């Protein structure tokens, strides 16, 4: 079989540990040292990474269950810009709010803030976290509640886009205030890069979602970021592979989701297909997952959201022989079997 892709559920500890790396395909043949990213990381004498590598995103995590009552703070990061962090933040946040949880999205991409645009809330930014920190307003005044789903709130950090106003400590303080407001999920939309903006954005987080596309540049950056997260004591890291094109994978012109996942050695949370509706929804300020008739990317984001909250558990195998490619592709992203 050319490849077997899965959304992560089928990768059990034994199957992942036992299976050798698949044959190098397409552009991956040129990646050289990149191909051994996860191997290098696994070889480091560090604690929890090894167990994370072999645990699929869907396996129940005892620690996660224990903290379910409280608040989970998850930074959405990537290293490389333009791979879909903000799209992921908006869609996961909206989906999880629709599942009935209290969600706060924190726009920590101060220089290029656009989470407000994706959510269609840009005209409602009055106060920001800066005014909260300076004592000019209360957190409640800076939070923008989504009118479509009141359980979703957005915290813009700064209007004038001055990054130097934010520090690690002020970010942690903001997250602590939000935790006291009984949010169940706080997603922090991280800027690109690994400099001070990244360090500030991860300060208040104890979990991370790394977003990548199936391209070597994005994967290398994602690997760097995964290492930095671990160095900053964030061990609960999951992967979203975005802009996946089944037609290109089929022709060996694109790495499969499984290849990307194995290179990075991070449990898979979801694979999101390339979808022109993403652009339409960005321009409309309406996350994909709000559409009445969901496109594949919308369904894939909903599935990823259900996995974040631990509500989805299924296996998909692209190798099933009898079905047509379209059907299999659809099932791959929708999770139906
Ligand atoms: P980041 O926050 O990582 O910089 P964005 O979420 O802003 O990335 O996305 C960058 C661009 O890629 C946007 O123009 C967005 O519409 C587009 N995009 C993101 N995900 C997809 C997808 N699955 N299909 C098509 N376009 C996408
Ligand atoms: Mg962004």
Q: Is the CB of 282 under 6 A from ligand 1?
A: yes
Could you tell me if 239 and 79 are in contact, meaning their C-beta atoms sit under 8 angstroms apart? no
Exposure class string for 107-117: b at 16+ Cβ within 10 A, else e? bbbbeebebbe
> How close is the Cα of 236 to the center of ligand 1, in Å?
24
Summarize pLDDT for 109-157 with one digit per residue, the tens: 887 778 999 999 988 999 999 999 999 999 999 999 999 999 999 999 8
**Distance in angstroms (rounded) separating the CA atoms of residues 44 and 47:** 9
Summarize pLDDT for 307-324 with one digit per residue, the tens: 999 987 653 433 344 455
Q: For 39-43, 125-129, 290-294, which range has the lowest pLDDT when averaged over its residues?
A: 39-43
Atom of ligand 1 nearest to the CA of 297: 23
* Mean pLDDT value of segment 178-205: 95
Report the run of H or E that residue 94 belongs to, with start and end.
Answer: helix 85-98
CATH topology of domain 72-210+276-313: Rossmann fold (3.40.50)
Q: Is the CB of 331 under 6 A from ligand 1?
A: no
Spell out the domain ranges in the chain.
72-210+276-313
Q: Is the CB of 82 under 6 A from ligand 1?
A: yes
Rg of the Cα atoms in the chain: 19
> How close is the Cα of 83 to the center of ligand 1, in Å?
6
> How close is the Cα of 112 to the center of ligand 2, in Å?
7
pLDDT at 24 over 90: no
User: Based on the number of CB atoms within 10 Å of its own CB, is 130 exposed (0-12), middle (13-18) or buried (19 or more)?
Assistant: buried
Cα dist from 328 to 8, 66, 103, 149, whole Å: 16, 36, 33, 33
Between 173 and 11, name the one with better pLDDT. Answer: 173
Q: Which of 79, 81, 84 to mutate to test the pocket of ligand 1 (most atoms within 8 A of CB)?
A: 84
Q: Is the CB of 89 under 6 A from ligand 1?
A: no
Q: Is the CB of 87 under 6 A from ligand 1?
A: yes
> How close is the Cα of 186 to the center of ligand 1, in Å?
21
User: What is the per-residue pLDDT for 111?
Assistant: 74
User: What is the per-residue pLDDT for 9?
Assistant: 35
**Distance in angstroms (rounded) separating the CA atoms of residues 282 and 274:** 14
- Model confidence pTM above 0.85: no
pLDDT confidence bin for 36, thresholds 50/70/90 = very low
**Distance in angstroms (rounded) separating the CA atoms of residues 248 and 242:** 14
Atom of ligand 1 nearest to the CA of 80: 3
User: What is the per-residue pLDDT for 120?
Assistant: 92
Q: Is the CB of 83 under 6 A from ligand 1?
A: yes
């Amino acid at each position: 079989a050319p490849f077997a892709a899965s959304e992560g559920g089928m990768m059990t500890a034994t199957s992942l540990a036992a299976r050798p790396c698949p044959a190098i395909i397409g552009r991956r043949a040129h990646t050289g040292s990149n191909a051994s990213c996860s191997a290098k990381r696994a070889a480091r004498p560090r604690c929890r990474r090894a167990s994370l590598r072999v645990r699929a995103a869907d396996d129940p995590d005892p620690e996660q269950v224990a903290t379910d009552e409280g608040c989970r703070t998850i930074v959405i990061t990537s290293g490389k810009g333009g791979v879909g962090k903000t799209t992921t933040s908006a869609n996961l946040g909206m989906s999880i709010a629709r599942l009935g949880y209290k969600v706060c999205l924190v726009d920590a991409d101060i220089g290029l803030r656009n989470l407000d645009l994706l959510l269609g809330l840009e005209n409602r930014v009055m106060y920001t976290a800066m005014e909260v920190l300076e004592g000019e307003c209360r957190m409640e005044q800076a939070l923008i509640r989504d009118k479509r789903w009141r359980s979703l709130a957005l915290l813009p950090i700064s209007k004038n886009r001055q990054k130097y106003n934010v520090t690690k400590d002020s970010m942690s303080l903001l997250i602590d205030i939000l935790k006291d407001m009984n949010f169940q999920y706080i997603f922090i939309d991280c800027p690109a890069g690994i400099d001070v903006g990244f360090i500030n954005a991860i300060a208040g987080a104890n979990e991370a979602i790394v977003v990548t596309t199936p391209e070597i540049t994005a994967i290398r950056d994602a690997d760097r970021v995964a290492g930095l997260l671990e160095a900053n004591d964030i061990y609960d890291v999951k992967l979203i592979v975005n802009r996946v094109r089944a037609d290109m994978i089929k022709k060996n012109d694109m790495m499969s989701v499984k290849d990307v996942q194995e290179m990075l050695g991070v449990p898979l949370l979801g694979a999101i297909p390339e979808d022109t509706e993403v652009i339409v929804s960005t321009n409309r300020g309406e996350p994909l997952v709000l559409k009445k008739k969901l496109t594949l990317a919308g369904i894939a984001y909903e599935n990823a959201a259900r996995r974040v909250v631990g509500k989805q558990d299924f296996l998909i195998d692209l190798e099933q022989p009898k079905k047509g490619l379209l059907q299999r592709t659809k099932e791959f992203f929708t999770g139906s079997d």
